[in-house]
Chains A and B, each alone.
Chain A
Amino acid sequence: MNVRDFFETMDYGPAPEDASEALAWIDSHGGKFGLFIDGDWTKPNKLFPTKNPATGKALAKVSQATKPQINTAVKAARAAQGSWAKDSKHRARVLYALARLIQKQSRLFAVLETLDNGKPIRESRDIDIPLVARHFYYHAGLAQLMDQELPDREALGVCGQIVPWNFPLLMLAWKIAPALAMGNTVVLKPAEYTSLTALLFADLSRQAGVPPGVLNIVTGDGAVGELITAHPEIDKIAFTGSTEVGRIIRRATAGSGKSLTLELGGKSPYIVFDDADMDSALEGLVDAIWFNQGQVCCAGSRLLLQEGIAEDFIRHLKARMDKLRIGDPLDKCIDVGAVVDPIQLKTIRKLVDSSAGEVYHAATEVPKKGCFYPPTLITGLTTSDKLMQEEVFGPVLASTTFRTPGEAVELANNTRYGLAATLWTENVNLALDIAPKLAAGVVWVNATNLFDAAAGFGGVRESGFGREGGWEGLLGYTRAKGNARSIELLKPNEAPVSGGEPVDQIDRTAKLYVGGKQSRPDGGYSRAIWSRRGQLLGHVGVANRKDVRNAVEAMNAADGWSKTTGHLRAQILYYLGENLSARADEFAARIDSMTGKRGGGAEVEASVDRLFTWAAWADKHDGRAKGVPIRGIALAMNEPVGKIAAFAPDDSALLGPVSLIGSALAMGNRITLVASEPYPLAATDLYQVLETSDIPGGVVNILTGSHTELAPQIAGHMDVDAVWGFSSSDLSAVIEREAAGNLKRTWVNNGKSHDWTKAASQAFLPAATEVKTIWVPYGE
């Protein structure tokens, strides 16, 4: 074959990227790598091969980290953290140097990534590596600004970070850049399939002046990950990977006091309305599900087509699929590369083969050797099919249709996941109506898979919690300054040995408050509440799991609250404050009678003030328009978390509940509050105030009962979005462990006291909201 022949065929021909520099770097380490600990390499041991999935050949051998080595790494990170945290301007310079280093060695990183992971060189070269550099640039800036802009925040300490194999270096950057910027030190484990770019990064990091111990890279399989998550000297775990492993980590770290962020799986909808630019939506789909062989947590893997255009769209989609070029990832003319490992390939095959739908494989040549799987479309599925629900993590698209925008939202949200969503329409009204309704951390309008360091990325539901990128990403790597005291269990006043007459002869029985009504506890049990001096103050119901269920149902029915305007919520919270104030004396007396102290008057006054504070915030927690490097905007919208269940503090009978209810309601959440166990009567007295303050039924529900008995029921409820635990009972572990079921967000006190005299809006606002990033490119 020569020019003359190619002149006739007009074939693309091979266009391989030269891998020799990357291979030479591997050789320079003798083809064997130790761990990178305290600024130096350990002796390679317990080696396992890392392979090129396109050929199946081993590229290098990598060490399986041992327990003593992890200890050494954590110790080094701990030792380095203090001085690293001191000077944010110095950190800015180091991060800037890292950004420059990535740019200077961009091709080396790109080629090595493609060799190790199998993704097309175009993607590693044009997408992964530039985004890595961008992440370090952006966070160099955040380090520079930290002293000035975040004066009340400080580093968490040592971060244990575990990243996946689909974007090895990019996920490393997402983890390391914010951690280092905020003054943390890091022990990071790359995925066992793809360790090499992390090792190259470690190797070169010294040239950027990263001090020894600040960055430690430990390689190995899940066992190493377990060592990290279980390590008592690690303050924070950041994990990106499967929902299954995320759940294990949530359980493993429960009650440890470790901060945790999880970026997990997805089954992200890709919605095409009938007025969309079809050709562009088609190309977007290529970038949604065949980008990185579909091994993308936010891959648009569920295609939802408006019925009228479905047939046409599918026909064009098949034609487009046939044009995809699959093969050697180092070839610059390849669209789809190799799946990361034979095990992953097997998983994909199994899932597709088990499908009841009509399977279409792209009529494109697939290399016989290596880990390749053709772009695949499955049609004729309904929502109940496994492939519509479960993440494939491969180049497999499942498709179904919808009739109306409302149905599109319903189908889109019919999933346990909530990572990303894409929608295509030329109608700005439709786009801006639908985007906020989608249960997802990221929404792309007329685009897909756009990423930037300035725009937060992360999920809701079982796609995890926490954001990476932007100011909001720093929350996961900092904490409020100051030390909290330990909390002591506050027991109810004891029943008197004799006597026990009621204070008031007219019985006032506090029931539970569910759905705007006072209802008897399901179990039919009540508990007496005694004053300090042994007088009977009243009875409260003992709520059980059924009452929890009813309260959650009531919150569901009150979903209209989350759609109200901040202005309306502010008015209602002011009104609540006004009505509470009108009964100030009564509440003050009640508090004093329970506590036996004289602080009731001040607490009521503070509570009224607290409601005014949250009323003030209701219409002021503004989102941001992010300066992303496209022509368009990325809107960071603060959305309500949804349904929050909160264990009120035991020692703050009124101010505690009011703070929790106020913050939750201000941000548009519905809340079920479990009242102080020893002093529940101030919360139950609130029923009448709530009833007279125009708060719709179900928006606030109040239960009384045993915190320890209710904690697993509430934290384990699959339809609760967040649990806050401020009880003096030791609930933190059980809440975090049980929350793993649906990976709901948790905010627990870890046995530390909270200062209720302060509004702490900077803590409550992010807890009561989820940042949704909506990308809206524009231009006509």
Chain B
Amino acid sequence: MELDLDLIRALQANTSAIERRAATLPGRRSVKKEFQAAWLLRAVTMIDLTTLSGDDTKGRVRRLCAKAANPIRPEILKAMDMSPVTVGAVCVYHDMIETAVQALQGTGIPVAAVSTGFPAGLSPFKLRVAEISESVKAGAGEIDIVISRRHVLTGNWQALYDEMRTFREACGEAHVKAILATGELGTLRNVARASWVCMMAGADFIKTSTGKESVNATLPVSLVMTRAIRAYHETTGYRVGYKPAGGISKAKDAVTYLTLIKDELGDRWLNPDLFRFGASSLMGDIERQLEHFATGRYSAAYRHAIG
């Protein structure tokens, strides 16, 4: 949709109220036993298994892809009478796309690439746009772009909108996730406004963080962003996805996030096309919890293959 500045400027986010709501969320919902196992499995299908390190190699990425295709030990799945599941996507830097695409061939798992001068987004605009095209050409089905935080911090919504539009167009058929870097936006009101501008400009997903900021995904930020998504859906009929990234490492936290999504957005969003966890260590904790469910005994990290 067109940029609606009146709407953007009227947005409110009362931080203390949002924090209070967020603080009570884990206590308001509890998912137990078979239900919990099912929810954790569903969480697995929505994980963007991620490696974004300077020391990534082809070998490292292949190992991650293998884990993505077979995240849960077969006997654990069998104990739950479940068919195999895979993660939502594998998320890498541009140079690793080709390796990942090859490694994931036949699995149906998409490759997501971080782009546009990730994580700071301060390289020349032309190059940022070109980076998207390169990544799409290399086979990335999903592009995680970073927005220019300075546009938010200076209230230059038009610039943010134009930037996002350009990125959106450069992505072509690929899905685009807009990383807001919420930890650097200063206020929840800014998070709400940036979420709306990016959605108006055509983002398929809005995502909290690069994982490189000092504060990444939090429940208050998630409340603000999911409420924006809900309102955008009401206004336009278009469903935008949500991806909290960074800082979610425990199975229990994952369940809390899913309850938030279920309650704020509805069950439709509990699917990989509309929700992802950007997380690397979450997988391990979920595996341990699932083994506990299957065997009744607490598990150990080394009993599960690393990704």
Contact = CB atoms under 8 A, between A and B. Distances in A.
A, B bound: yes
A351 interface: no
Contact of A333 (B29, B38, B81, B187): B29
5 contacts: A7-B42, A12-B259, A126-B24, A275-B12, A277-B18
Q: Which of B12, B187, B262 has the most CB of A within 10 A?
A: B12
Interface stretch (A224-232, A562-570, A718-726, A772-780): A772-780
A280 B14 contact: yes
Contact of B41 (A3, A15, A126, A426): A3
B241 to A, nearest CB: 16
Given A3-B81, A276-B12, A333 B42 contact: no
Contacts, number: 107
Contact of A12 (B31, B82, B83, B188): B31
A82 interface: no
Q: How large is the interface on B (under 10, 10 to 19, 20 to 34, 35 or more residues)?
A: 35 or more
A14 interface: yes
A5 B33 CA distance: 13
A371 interface: no
Interface in B62-83: 80-83
A630 B23 CA distance: 12
Contacts of A275: 12
Going nearest first, the 5 A-B pairs with the smallest beta carbon separation are A13-B35, A6-B38, A332-B30, A280-B17, A777-B16
Interface in A297-348: 323, 332-333, 335
Which residue, of A125, A279, A284, A323, has the highest number of chain B Cβ atoms within 10 A? Answer: A279
Contact of A446 (B14, B33, B187): B14
A11 interface: yes
B267 interface: yes
A632 B227 contact: no
B15 interface: yes
Given A447-B20, A777-B20, A7 B267 contact: no
Interface in B226-259: 227, 258-259
Contacts of B38: 3-7, 10
Nearest to B227: A279
Interface of A: 1-7, 10-15, 122, 125-126, 275-281, 283-284, 323, 332-333, 335, 424, 426, 446-447, 630-632, 777-780
Interface in B33-58: 33-35, 37-39, 41-42
Contact of A10 (B17, B19, B21, B267): B267
Given A11-B35, A15-B32, A4 B80 contact: yes
B137 to A, nearest CB: 36
Contacts of B267: 10
B156 to A, nearest CB: 20
Nearest to B263: A323
A3 B12 contact: no
B189 interface: yes
Q: Which residue among A3, A7, A11, A777 has the maximum number of chain B CB atoms within 10 Å of its CB?
A: A3
Given A2-B80, A6-B35, A13-B32, 17 more contacts: A3-B41, A3-B82, A4-B80, A4-B82, A4-B83, A7-B82, A10-B38, A10-B39, A10-B258, A10-B262, A12-B259, A333-B28, A446-B17, A631-B16, A779-B16, A780-B15, A780-B187
Nearest to B28: A122
A658 to B, nearest CB: 47
B27 interface: yes
B13 interface: yes
Question: Which of B15, B35, B258 has the most CB atoms of chain A within a 10 A radius of its CB?
Answer: B35
B13 A277 contact: yes
B171 interface: no
Nearest to B261: A10
A14 B32 CA distance: 7
B15 A447 contact: no
Contact of A126 (B16, B27, B39, B223): B27
A400 B13 CA distance: 24
B270 interface: yes
Contacts of A424: 14
A426 B192 CA distance: 15
B205 to A, nearest CB: 20
A632 B34 CA distance: 41
A275 B11 CA distance: 9
Nearest to B258: A10
Contact of B30 (A3, A4, A6, A333): A333
A15 B31 contact: yes
Interface of B: 12-21, 24, 27-35, 37-39, 41-42, 80-83, 187-189, 223, 227, 258-259, 262-263, 267, 270
A395 B42 CA distance: 35
A281 B16 CA distance: 12
Contacts of B83: 4
Contacts of A335: 28
A198 to B, nearest CB: 25
A3 B15 contact: no
Contacts of B189: 780
A11 to B, nearest CB: 7
B110 to A, nearest CB: 21
Given A275-B12, A335-B28, A6 B18 contact: no
Nearest to B290: A3
Contact of A284 (B15, B17, B33, B39): B17
A335 B27 CA distance: 10
B31 A13 contact: yes
A283 B31 contact: no
A518 B152 CA distance: 68
Contacts of B263: 323
A14 B258 CA distance: 16
Contacts of B39: 6, 10
A333 B38 CA distance: 16
B14 A3 contact: no
A306 to B, nearest CB: 14
Contacts of B82: 3-4, 7
Given A333-B29, A780-B189, A3 B17 contact: no
Nearest to B37: A3
B31 A779 contact: no
Contacts of B12: 275-278, 426
Contacts of A323: 263
B262 A446 contact: no
B270 A7 contact: no
A143 to B, nearest CB: 31
A56 to B, nearest CB: 25
A778 B227 contact: no
Contact of A277 (B17, B30, B32, B80): B17
Nearest to A12: B31
Contacts of B32: 13-15
Most buried by B among A7, A276, A630: A7
A7 B41 contact: yes
A630 B20 CA distance: 10
Contacts of B34: 1-3, 6, 13
A122 B27 contact: yes
Contacts of A11: 35
B21 A426 contact: no
Contacts of B29: 12, 332-333
A461 to B, nearest CB: 28
A364 to B, nearest CB: 12
Contacts of A780: 15, 187-189
A283 B28 contact: no
Nearest to B24: A126
Contacts of A122: 27-28
Nearest to B19: A779
Contacts of A3: 34, 37-38, 41, 80-82
A73 B219 CA distance: 51
Contacts of A778: 16
